Structure 1
Amino acid sequence: MGRYVLRRLLQMVPVLLGTTFLIYVMVWAVPGDPFAGKCGERACPDAYITEMRERFNLDDPVIVQYGKYMLNLLSGDFGETSSGVQVIDRIADTFPVTLRLALVALVIEAVIGITAGIVSGLRNRGFLDSLVLVSTLFLISIPVFVTGSVIQLVFGIQWGVIPPTVSSKATFGELIVPGFVLASLSMAYVARLTRSSIAENRRADYVRTALAKGLPQRRVVGVHLLRNSLIPVITFLGTDLGSFLGGAIVTEGIFNVPGVGGLIFRSIQTKEGALVTGLVTLLVLAYLVMTLLVDLLYAVLDPRIRYE
């Protein structure tokens, strides 16, 4: 196991370097003035532009700029914005909120999606199976911003059942509704993936053997059938958490969640290249770590899988 983890960590190094280099190039090497609008309606003074270009090493070749950025990143320095604010401070303010939102969405997605998939897979071609298929198809066909806007309008503004926006504290309780909206699309895919996996493994030899031995239905489903059927579902959930961390821009915008998604959107609008680069680099690291944890979970779910 230790050698496998070490090998996977070494494989993550070129992936991290490649993705962060592409991000850096797309942010800093695109045509246009990176300091346009920084001084209001008037053009920025030459002294200011010279200072900014020196601060962000923009006079160096792109590969040299990237090398200096990565050296600073290894020491924990994510850089600073054009206004002198440390990027790591902005990340510390927003990333915990997005992480809470992503975890809430992941729990909702896993609990509802897996439960619906199990019920549908065990009741193949029955009423509950048809209900799950129709419900998931309905969720897949509706964009997330429509689901969020309708829930906010009906339950938050018209009926007053939920707060229409999230406060600055963004507690777990306040993030339940935004988490449901964020997880709605993936929840439908998890239900369908679980259903197909359960329906396929029900016909496997080990399930028929367990039933022939007289094991209770609950044990056959919970211990034998479910553990093997959840392997593709766990893969989807693990990668989905990485997607939630970086793909919550719409949901955070609808419910006014002070998270990373809104910060990335505003940073792109204001051309804060250092902030965009730092945030996306952090999301890449989170995504790589999640893929490693998912692979390690395979051995827990299926005893036949061993990492040498």
Structure 2
Amino acid sequence: MGRYVLRRLLQFVPVFIGTTFLIYALVWAVPGDPFAGKCGDRQCPTEFVAQMTEKYGLDRPLVVQYVGYLGRLFSGDFGTTFNGNSIGQQIANSYPITVRLALIALLIQTGIGITAGVVTGLRRKGFLDSLVLVSTLFLISLPVFVTGSVLQIVLGVDLGIINPTVSPQASLGELIVPGFVIGSISMAYVTRLTRTSVAENKGADFVRTAIAKGQPTRRVVGVHLLRNSAIPVITFLGTDLGSLMGGAIVTEGVFNINGIGGLIFRNIAEKEGFMVTTIVTLLVLVYLAMSLIVDLMYAVLDPRIRYD
């Protein structure tokens, strides 16, 4: 196991360098003047543009810029925006909110999705199975901003159960409904993946053997059946957590959440390339870490899988 982890970590090095360099190149290849609007309504003086270009190293070759950027990043210096604001401070203010939102969404889609998938996988072609299939298809077909707007109007405006917008503190209670919205589509996929996997494995030899040994139904389902049916679900949830950590721009916009999604959107509009590159680089690290964790969980869930 140790050799496998070390080999995977070594494989992450070229992947990280390749993806971050591509991101860096694409961000700075976007047409437009990054200093437009930095001087108010009037156009920035040529001397100011030249000074800022030299200060941020934008006059250097792209590879030199990228190497310098990585060096500063790994030394803990996230740099500043063109307006002089600390990139690290803005990320530190926004990322905890997105982390809470992502974890709430993950808990909702895991708890509801797996439970519904197991129940319908064990009892297929019944009324409950049909109801769940129709409901998940409805959630998949419905755009996220529609789900968010409907819940915001019904629960927030009409019934007054929640606040229509989330406060700057973004407490856990305020993030439950946005978490459901951001995780609704993934919850539908988790339900369908679990249902299909459970239905395929419930007639497997190891399940029949466990039943023949007289083991309780709860143990057969919870230990033998669910464990071996969870691999595709874990794969999906692992990659989906990386997406959730990126923040949902639409959902955060509907509920006025000051998370990473809104931060990315604002800085793309303002052409703050260093901010966008830093956030996406952090997301690359999250994706790489989650892919390793998911692979290691395979061996925990299925004893037939060994990384020797």
Question: When the two structures are superposed, what TM-score results if normalisation uses the length of structure 2?
Answer: 0.98
8 A Cα contact 2:38 2:83, kept in partner:
no
Following the alignment from structure 2 to structure 1, what is the Cα–Cα distance between the partners of residues 28 and 299?
42
Q: CA deviation at 1:247?
A: 4.3
Q: CA deviation at 1:209?
A: 1.1
Q: Which sits farther off after the overlay, 280-289 or 185-194?
A: 280-289
Kindly report which structure 2 residues correspond to 1:200-239, keeping only aligned pairs within 5 A, or say none. Answer: 200-239=200-239
Matching residue's letter, 2:292: L
Residue 24 of structure 2: aligned partner = 24
Matching residue's letter, 2:129: D
8 A Cα contact 1:116 1:191, kept in partner:
yes
Following the alignment from structure 1 to structure 2, what is the Cα–Cα distance between the partners of residues 196 and 204?
14
Following the alignment from structure 2 to structure 1, what is the Cα–Cα distance between the partners of residues 15 and 172?
33
Unaligned runs of 5+ residues in structure 2 are none
Matching residue's letter, 2:104: V
Residue 10 of structure 1: aligned partner = 10
8 A Cα contact 2:157 2:164, kept in partner:
yes
Q: Percent identity?
A: 69
Q: Deviations over 1:235-264 (max 9, x none)?
A: 100100001111411111111111000000
SS in structure 2 opposite 1:284? helix
Matching residue's letter, 1:228: N
Following the alignment from structure 1 to structure 2, what is the Cα–Cα distance between the partners of residues 262 and 224?
43
Q: Deviations over 1:208-239 (max 9, x none)?
A: 11111111111110110000001110110010
Q: Which sits farther off after the overlay, 123-132 or 261-270?
A: 123-132
Following the alignment from structure 1 to structure 2, what is the Cα–Cα distance between the partners of residues 53 and 141?
46
Residue 56 of structure 1: aligned partner = 56
Matching residue's letter, 2:42: R
Matching residue's letter, 1:261: G
Following the alignment from structure 1 to structure 2, what is the Cα–Cα distance between the partners of residues 175 and 22?
34
8 A Cα contact 2:102 2:241, kept in partner:
yes
8 A Cα contact 1:29 1:62, kept in partner:
no
Matching residue's letter, 2:20: T
Q: Which sits farther off after the overlay, 59-68 or 32-41?
A: 32-41
Residue 138 of structure 1: aligned partner = 138
Residue 115 of structure 1: aligned partner = 115
Residue 177 of structure 1: aligned partner = 177
Q: Deviations over 1:266-291 (max 9, x none)?
A: 00111111111111111111111111
Residue 290 of structure 1: aligned partner = 290
SS in structure 2 opposite 1:186? helix
Following the alignment from structure 2 to structure 1, what is the Cα–Cα distance between the partners of residues 270 and 30?
15
8 A Cα contact 2:247 2:259, kept in partner:
no
**What value does the CA root-mean-square deviation take over the aligned residues?**
1.0
8 A Cα contact 2:247 2:260, kept in partner:
no
Following the alignment from structure 2 to structure 1, what is the Cα–Cα distance between the partners of residues 67 and 45?
29
Residue 68 of structure 1: aligned partner = 68
Q: 1:189 and 2:189 equivalent? A: yes
Matching residue's letter, 2:62: V
Residue 156 of structure 2: aligned partner = 156
8 A Cα contact 2:34 2:270, kept in partner:
no
8 A Cα contact 1:227 1:301, kept in partner:
yes
Residue 165 of structure 2: aligned partner = 165
Following the alignment from structure 1 to structure 2, what is the Cα–Cα distance between the partners of residues 85 and 47?
21
Residue 40 of structure 2: aligned partner = 40
SS in structure 1 opposite 2:230? helix
Following the alignment from structure 1 to structure 2, what is the Cα–Cα distance between the partners of residues 29 and 125?
53
Question: When the two structures are superposed, what TM-score results if normalisation uses the length of structure 1?
Answer: 0.98
Residue 103 of structure 1: aligned partner = 103
SS in structure 2 opposite 1:78? coil
SS in structure 2 opposite 1:187? helix
Residue 88 of structure 2: aligned partner = 88
Q: Deviations over 1:169-210 (max 9, x none)?
A: 111111100000000000000000000000000111111111
Following the alignment from structure 2 to structure 1, what is the Cα–Cα distance between the partners of residues 173 and 6?
38
Q: CA deviation at 1:32?
A: 2.3
8 A Cα contact 2:109 2:187, kept in partner:
yes
Following the alignment from structure 1 to structure 2, what is the Cα–Cα distance between the partners of residues 222 and 29?
51
SS in structure 2 opposite 1:262? helix
Following the alignment from structure 1 to structure 2, what is the Cα–Cα distance between the partners of residues 15 and 173?
38
Q: CA deviation at 1:47?
A: 2.2
Unaligned runs of 5+ residues in structure 1 are none
Following the alignment from structure 1 to structure 2, what is the Cα–Cα distance between the partners of residues 136 and 227?
23
